[in-house]
Structure 1
Amino acid sequence: MKSVVYFGLALVIFSIYPIYFITQEMLIDANISSKFKIEVMSVDMKNSKNSERQWLIASTQFKQHNIEFLAEDIESGPPTVKNESRLVNITIKVDKTVESTPVRQELFLYKNDSHFKYWNYTFRVKNTDDNHEEIAIVQNLTQGKIVEKQKWRVIHINENGQMNEEVFSYLDRGEHLLGVKLLQRSQQPVGFKSDILMYYPSIIFPNIYPLVTFILGILIIIVSGIFLLINRKF
């Protein structure tokens, strides 16, 4: 009977590591979701030339503020053929005065000459504690596809039109929980502390392992322990 107890204990030990990270991710997500209401914000795509070096590629309104997305390419200008891409400097400007640090990003011409597309997600974020709202613009600062080597920037614009920039990498993402939640809403497979919930679910994971194996191990330990106690009495 002791061997059965050891088997149950082995199942628990074998399952506790992923169970811990799954529980941690679920608790963090529940906390962030209860504190912040996040909605995708509509952005009007543009394709208009501001100057010889600058193009307006998108704009939106937040409260009384006008927010513009500007592209600048000193050498060759923006793409001119459908699906053609070029690296340009992307800048966010509020009311034509407050300006973000330029970021080098890949810009595509979409649907002939109607508008451009690029890696950028815009959200309206409401803090449920004080009801304050802001715009959060998520940008990828790296061109590679390996998530572990990427770095992101979130531009926060509050109701007064003030802007601040939050930059973090994959390695220090655990200190930027709202930023990670915005990345998840931006279709990035990134977890808060672990990526364990980002894997494609199957019958085996996480259903059989670690959930079933953990519960089964606990049940084996409890039932075996009861039998051991009964046998000792008799």
Structure 2
Amino acid sequence: MTRKKIFLITMMSLFFIGVSIYPLFLIIQEMVLDRYLNSRYKIEEVIDVWNTRHQNADQYSYELASPIQWKGNIIEVLTRDTGVVAPKSRLDNDTLHVMQVTIKVNGREQSFPTQAWLPQNITKDSDYLSWLNLLKVKDNKNNMEQIAIVQRIADNWQRGDTTSQKWRILYVNEDQQVNEELFSYLERGDHLLGLKLVLSSSQSSSWIGYKSDIAYRLPSIFFPLLYPTGTFLIGLVLALLLYLRFRKLKCN
């Protein structure tokens, strides 16, 4: 093997590995974070936001139409129509209104009211889908349970714009304490559990990642099979061939 060929293979190996290693790192990072959160926390839905109660006679869930009582806490979700019609896309069949949503826990209003795009006449919990959900969260490390009230905030959100999303989560503890977590799409990397609850409760307009969205792009033959997985493997194979070649020359 001539020096020119060795140089060419070395450059090709470095190129393939160089362009592949960062996206591969992001994909693996998302897998590790999600596995950690799945092992640390047990998450269950509290309300029938998917409208599946009629499909399973054994399924039990609370209803938002009446106050939810959980371990001495009383949770109420109150809505008020602002009279403003929400922006509508071509795919929307129903007209939604900008509604003001107020959360009360044990008779006290928690934080500030938020806005959501909801039907004018709310008849079932699934009307809140993508705007509000309640989850039961158990920390397997200390066996503590909480109710998480997850809300997507409509303020300044533009339809189809993932990066302008904001969320609020109210954590209701067994001791009747309420903690608030507020974060945006750009801040999601510092709120891993919060984002896990957002994704588990379908409170995002699209599937997003903890640190990067690269792992949740629609799969195709090119991504991630050919790039970055295939290109990284090609780079490793070329590097291995060079190593074996130099080792053979050294032995001779």
State the TM bucket, normalised to the shorter chain: 0.7 to 0.9
- Equivalent positions of 1:168-179 (< 5 A) are 168-179=183-194
Q: CA deviation at 1:107?
A: 2.1
1:216 aligns with 2:234: yes
Q: CA deviation at 1:233?
A: 4.0
1:16–1:214 Cα contact (<8 Å) kept: yes
User: Please, what TM-score do these two structures have when normalized by structure 1?
Assistant: 0.82
Q: CA deviation at 1:132?
A: 0.4
SS in 2 for 1:210: helix
1:201 aligns with 2:243: no
The structure with the greater share of residues assigned to strand is 1
Q: How many equivalent residue pairs?
A: 217
How far apart, in 1, do the equivalents of 2:222 and 2:82 lie?
53
In the alignment, which residue of structure 2 is the partner of 1:89? 100
Which digits, 9 at most, give the CA deviation of each residue in 1:152-202, with x for residues without a partner? 111111112221211001111111010111122133322111111121112
The two structures, once aligned, show a CA RMSD in angstroms of 2.5
1:5–1:225 Cα contact (<8 Å) kept: no
User: Please, what TM-score do these two structures have when normalized by structure 2?
Assistant: 0.77
Residue 128 (structure 1) aligned to one of 136, 140, 154: 140
Residue 158 (structure 2) aligned to one of 132, 144, 147: 144
Which runs of 5 or more residues in structure 1 are unaligned? 45-55, 77-81
SS in 2 for 1:168: strand
Which runs of 5 or more residues in structure 2 are unaligned? 50-63, 85-92
Residue 64 (structure 1) aligned to one of 47, 68, 72: 72
1:183 aligns with 2:198: yes
Change (3 A) 1:87 1:57: farther
In the alignment, which residue of structure 1 is the partner of 2:21? 16
Change (3 A) 1:227 1:73: same
How far apart, in 2, do the equivalents of 1:109 and 1:225 lie?
69
Which digits, 9 at most, give the CA deviation of each residue in 1:81-100, with x for residues without a partner? x9442222211112323534
How far apart, in 1, do the equivalents of 2:139 and 2:162 lie?
28
**Which consecutive segments of 4 or more residues in structure 1 shift more than 6 A?**
none
Which digits, 9 at most, give the CA deviation of each residue in 1:10-33, with x for residues without a partner? 111110110111121111112211
1:106 aligns with 2:117: yes
How far apart, in 1, do the equivalents of 2:67 and 2:216 lie?
32
Percent identity, please.
Answer: 36
